[in-house]
Amino acid sequence: MTHRFTTGQMVELVPKILRPAAPGPYEIRHLVPDAGREKDPSYRIKSVDEKYDRVAPESELVLPRINSVKDRAQKGVLNANPSIWTEAQAPFYRSN
């Protein structure tokens, strides 16, 4: 089975009732090799709020949600200075 995410990519861990986990983004640290018997690839992930890595199957990982321009700027997806936004970054923020 092919891995959907890549090393260094940021993901979120889907919350489960019986699994305590830090909220927020996790970094993909390693792709766990497929032993040939698993249908769901696994990843070693790390949160900045936890001291240890954890292993999670791909079915429990999602891409991070970006809700607002401010969140996008804080996460480095969008430059925080609107005066230097490119056309692609600011199609809905024109003043005219």
Contacts (Cβ under 8 Å, ≥6 apart) of 96: none
Q: Please provide residue 72's backbone torsions phi and psi, each rounded to the nearest 5 degrees.
A: -65, -40
Note whether 45 and 25 are same-domain residues. Answer: yes
Provide the domain limits for residue 31. 1-65
Q: Reduced to 3 states, what is the DSSP secondary structure of residue 92?
A: coil
Note whether 48 and 90 are same-domain residues. Answer: no
Note whether 34 and 47 are same-domain residues. Answer: yes
Note whether 76 and 90 are same-domain residues. Answer: yes
Total domain count, the chain: 2
Q: Please provide residue 73's backbone torsions phi and psi, each rounded to the nearest 5 degrees.
A: -65, -40
Q: Is the pTM of this model over 0.85?
A: no
Note whether 51 and 72 are same-domain residues. Answer: no
| 8-53 pLDDT per residue, tens | 999 999 888 888 888 889 999 999 987 776 688 999 999 989 999 9
| 72-96 pLDDT per residue, tens | 566 555 555 555 555 555 555 555 5
Q: What is the dihedral of CA 71, 75, 78, 81, to 10 degrees?
A: 80
Q: Reduced to 3 states, what is the DSSP secondary structure of residue 68?
A: coil
